[in-house]
Amino acid sequence: MLTNFLDHTRYPESLIDSPATGPQSRIFAGAGAKVDVSTGVGLSNSDPIHWLNALQSFHGNGNMPIEKLQELDNAIGILRLEKYIDNSISSEEQTGIKSLVRDCYYWLRPLFPVSFRKYLQRMALRGWDSKAFPAWPVDFTTEKLMDAIWRQLLNAQTPKELPFIWFWPEGQSSCCIMTHDVETALGRDFCGTMMQIEKRHGIYSAFEVVPEQRYEVPEEFLQGIRDNGCEVCLHGLNHDGHLFTSKAVFSERAKKINAYAEKWRAVGFRSPVMYRNLSWLPELRFSYDMSVPNMAHLDPQHGGCCTVMPYFIGDLLELPLTTTQDYSLFHILQQRSLDLWKKQIAMIQQRYGLVSFIVHPDYVTEKWASELYNDLLAYLSELRSSQGMWIALPRDVADWWKARRQMKLVQQGGAWKIEGPQAERARIAYASLGANGVQFRVEKAQPIAVAR
Ligand SMILES: [Zn+2]
């Protein structure tokens, strides 16, 4: 019952009324569509935005029966697992012309001059800016659905504030992870310089390394990353674009990837080119994954999880990519400033979310680019001191979310208390209704109330 909402907020299950008797409605009919909200079946791939808007607003402010709340909760699951878009390999689009183009592109890519590759990519992405869903430059549909559930719970209950466990340790306001996919030998050899730049700002990062074919991976290189307080992650097996071509290929490669992870003591994974099939991912034995974009208009594989918060795919924690990749910023949008990144950071902070970056060592070797990267780090470091943003290694963020998932809010002598591993780092927070909708306040820390 309300699994996604409860998992996300750690709201005490005991405060939710038991479901009404009678069969639960699983079919949502509205906005011209009939959708099975437990599977997403019936949802038109082309335009889920009307369906979602209808879900968020339906039944207005009145008390909603529990089965209607369940529909909102199911919609969260559909978005986060990208069930609203057919990304499966068996879909016609992937096996048809698109995958042919993709294969040709991969085979011929080394032969094309860089400028022609960029031209091809821009052509392939034509029309991205006219897509209404997911929303550019950050999509918050999942957060809005969570808010809709809070609203209903707050309307239905006498207390004006409802407790939950705050998203980040020590009551920090938001979180940031810096990650680097290492694409070529050039990028590998620039990692040391990047770590030096980061050290100046007290920021530590994760490096996603390709184990086979692309470049040599000497043990000293990996140890150098660890010795600098940074983290080694796996970036596919050989980065040939075929990891998700078929279940057989994936399973075969997953075994090898798992073996490398064990050897390298790596607990984090990112799929090359953000290609993904979320139902296969649990075959990879990692603590967390970083292969799902919040919205993917500028990526070869479209979709997106429409959230700026970590979430679980089984036992695997997903840390979604919530900002535009450096390559897309520099070469598709053709911008050499921090403007878009700053805008995305501000939007995500308003939702107390995870700000996550991919900056490729390969693409910031030029002076202007490494200076821009340095400016970004200075900006993040400033946010850490002025706004309480938690800048952490992805593995530490995953550890926290896994501990938080074991925590429980319990009532003791009329007051709420958090029990479970690392409970001393956790803070009780309260949701209430303000003039501008749902707002949060964190106990024993600077009260945070942002209107939206
Ligand atoms: Zn890559």
Give the pLDDT confidence score for residue 344 in this predicted structure.
98
Centroid of ligand 1 to alpha carbon of 235 (angstroms): 7
Centroid of ligand 1 to alpha carbon of 12 (angstroms): 41
Centroid of ligand 1 to alpha carbon of 43 (angstroms): 32
Question: What contacts 39, CB < 8 A, 6 or more positions away?
Answer: 78, 83
Cβ-based neighbour number of residue 235 at 10 Å: 26
Centroid of ligand 1 to alpha carbon of 211 (angstroms): 12
**Residue located via tokens 């099939």:** 277
Give the pLDDT confidence score for residue 326 in this predicted structure.
96
Give the pLDDT confidence score for residue 133 in this predicted structure.
85
Comparing C-alpha atoms, which of 352, 349, 286 is closest to residue 315? 286
Centroid of ligand 1 to alpha carbon of 357 (angstroms): 13
Q: Which domains does the chain have, with CATH numbers?
A: 169-398 (3.20.20.370)
Centroid of ligand 1 to alpha carbon of 236 (angstroms): 8
Centroid of ligand 1 to alpha carbon of 415 (angstroms): 49
Rounded CA-CA distance 33/48 in Å is: 9
Q: Which structure tokens are listed for 245?
A: 């071509």
Centroid of ligand 1 to alpha carbon of 237 (angstroms): 11
Centroid of ligand 1 to alpha carbon of 394 (angstroms): 17
Comparing C-alpha atoms, which of 420, 422, 421, 425 is closest to residue 444? 425
Protein residues near ligand 1, an ion, with CB under 5 A: 181, 272
Give the pLDDT confidence score for residue 242 in this predicted structure.
94
Centroid of ligand 1 to alpha carbon of 313 (angstroms): 22
Centroid of ligand 1 to alpha carbon of 292 (angstroms): 13
Centroid of ligand 1 to alpha carbon of 17 (angstroms): 47
Centroid of ligand 1 to alpha carbon of 272 (angstroms): 4
**Residue located via tokens 């998700």:** 244
**pTM, 2 dp:** 0.89
At residue 275, φ and ψ (nearest 5 deg) are -70, 145
Centroid of ligand 1 to alpha carbon of 273 (angstroms): 5
Centroid of ligand 1 to alpha carbon of 361 (angstroms): 11
Centroid of ligand 1 to alpha carbon of 154 (angstroms): 44
Comparing C-alpha atoms, which of 223, 208, 200, 212 is closest to residue 357? 208
Give the pLDDT confidence score for residue 28 in this predicted structure.
58
Q: Which structure tokens are listed for 288?
A: 């967390």
Greatest pairwise CA separation for the chain in angstroms: 71
Centroid of ligand 1 to alpha carbon of 330 (angstroms): 16
Q: Which structure tokens are listed for 54?
A: 């209808």
Centroid of ligand 1 to alpha carbon of 181 (angstroms): 5
Question: What contacts 92, CB < 8 A, 6 or more positions away?
Answer: none
Centroid of ligand 1 to alpha carbon of 129 (angstroms): 24
Centroid of ligand 1 to alpha carbon of 433 (angstroms): 43
Pairing outcome for strands 311-313 and 33-36: unpaired
- Please compute Rg for the chain using Cα positions: 22
Q: Which structure tokens are listed for 253?
A: 């490669």
Centroid of ligand 1 to alpha carbon of 185 (angstroms): 12
Centroid of ligand 1 to alpha carbon of 199 (angstroms): 24
Q: Which structure tokens are listed for 11?
A: 């709201």
Q: What is the pLDDT along the chain (452 residues), one digit of tens a residue?
A: 899 999 999 999 988 865 444 444 455 555 455 666 666 666 655 566 777 777 766 545 556 677 778 888 999 999 999 988 865 544 444 444 455 556 666 656 666 667 777 777 777 677 777 777 899 999 999 999 999 999 988 987 777 899 999 999 999 999 999 999 999 999 999 999 999 999 999 999 999 999 999 999 999 999 999 999 999 999 999 999 999 999 999 999 999 999 999 999 999 999 999 999 999 999 999 999 999 999 998 888 989 999 999 999 999 999 999 999 999 999 989 999 999 999 999 999 999 999 999 999 999 999 999 999 999 999 999 999 999 999 999 999 999 999 999 999 999 988 999 999 999 999 999 999 998 889 999 997 544 555 44
Centroid of ligand 1 to alpha carbon of 283 (angstroms): 20
Determine contact, residues 304/295, Cβ cutoff 8 Å. Answer: yes
